Amino acid sequence: MSPPSNCNFGIGCDILPSSMPNLSIIIAVYNDWLALNPCLRSFAKQADASDFEVIVVDDGSNEPAPEEINQWTRCFPLTIVRRPHIGISAARNQGIQVSRGSLLLFVDADCQLQANCLAALASTIAAAPKHNFFQLRLIGNCSGLVGRTEHLRLTSLQDQLLQPDGRMRYLNTAGLAVRRSAMPIGGSLFDPVALRGEDTLLLASLLQREELPYFVPNAVIQHNVPHSLLKCFRKDIQSALLESGTYALISSRGVRIRMSNRNRLNLIRSLYRTSKPPSVGRLAFFVLIVRQLLSRITSFVFGAIHRRTSSPGMSPASQNGNP
């Protein structure tokens, strides 16, 4: 698929701006080429495509980037870094090291920037010099049940966790902007220890520093879930298993990241109210509740097993199931 005719640099333009970009968009991919193409197309539709670069870190995909991905270099500066499969945290850290912009924007391959997203982000950042981390507004694609469920989850979480001062007790790397000046030495913003939930681990670190992301409601990113409902259920269980280690690490640091039972109840009420319009629907609410229950039960069972097998009072024989 060729770049669209409204590409800001024009089809066939091989001369790209040589000045240092203000913004670096970093995307870690793993066999995500099909989803990445519309993601890149959404970048070309932004109002000012001359002031950003795109860094795609291929974290060991089965195949290298296809031609329809490479040809986006005709529309904006695009660098593709191919590396062995290690994990999304390490891939994002490598993207930071390769990037040149003073501001970094992390986006997932299955996301699309909405109209004027980058302009709204730039405006907010210029008006908020005291903040270093910025959470963009995330929405779902409401054309199907899975997308409506994702839209309900994202919008309710953001509404619930937004504080009066404009900061959020929430962080999602599907749309996170960070000033380079706030980067740790070496550019390792994400802890490679986290196999899943690396954004939650980063949020825990920010909580310890009392530095929460500032919400940018006018910079909108749509998250498109490419899975069927059954695959979503499977992924929820797999994610809960992998995230258990991340939450254990957060707990060991003495940081409380999970919602209280009261806040969780308030969130469920918010979910139910938000699902009332036909554009979302009550079915999306019930599906989301089932998915959350699956995740919670998986985390609870795994945690109980882990605590039992790691208990210092248990002998090696009892750990192996012997009396």
Start-to-end CA distance of the chain, whole Å, equals 64
Give the tens place of pLDDT for each residue, 7-63. Answer: 544 444 454 555 788 999 999 999 999 999 999 999 999 976 568 999 999 999 999
Sort strands 175-179 and 103-107 into parallel, antiparallel or unpaired.
antiparallel
**Residue 277, Cβ density class (10 Å: 0-12 exposed, 13-18 middle, ≥19 buried):** exposed
Is the pLDDT higher at 304 or at 167? 167
> Following CA atoms 164, 169, 173, 175 in sequence, which dihedral angle do they give, to the nearest 10 degrees?
-10
Q: Is the pLDDT of residue 67 over 90?
A: yes
d(CA 177, CA 200): 15
pLDDT of residue 110: 95
In terms of Cα–Cα distance, which of 46, 48, 176, 217 is closest to 115?
Answer: 46
Q: Where are the beta strands (DSSP E) in the chain?
A: 23-29, 52-59, 78-83, 103-107, 111-113, 133-140, 175-179, 214-223
User: Across the strands, what pairs with 52?
Assistant: 23
pLDDT in tens, 156-209: 999 999 999 999 999 999 999 999 999 987 778 999 888 788 999 999 999 999
| Strand arrangement of the beta sheet that strand 214-223 belongs to | 78-83, 52-59, 23-29, 103-107, 175-179, 133-140, 214-223, 111-113
DSSP state of 64: P
The domains located in the chain, with CATH, are 23-227 (3.90.550.10)
Flag whether pLDDT at 211 surpasses 90: yes
- What span, in angstroms and rounded, lies between the C-alpha atoms of 170 and 259? 11
21's tokens: 């970009």
Going by their DSSP bridges, the two strands 23-29 and 52-59 should be labelled as parallel
pLDDT score of 226: 78
The encoded tokens of residue 169 equal 């007790």
Please name which of 91, 257, 246, 117 lies closest in space to residue 175, comparing C-alpha atoms. 117
Helix (H) or strand (E) holding 109: none
Which parts of 114-197 are beta strand (E)? 133-140, 175-179
For the stretch 73-132, pLDDT in tens is 998 999 999 999 989 999 999 999 999 999 999 999 999 999 999 999 999 999 999 999
Of residues 214 and 311, which shows the higher confidence score? 214
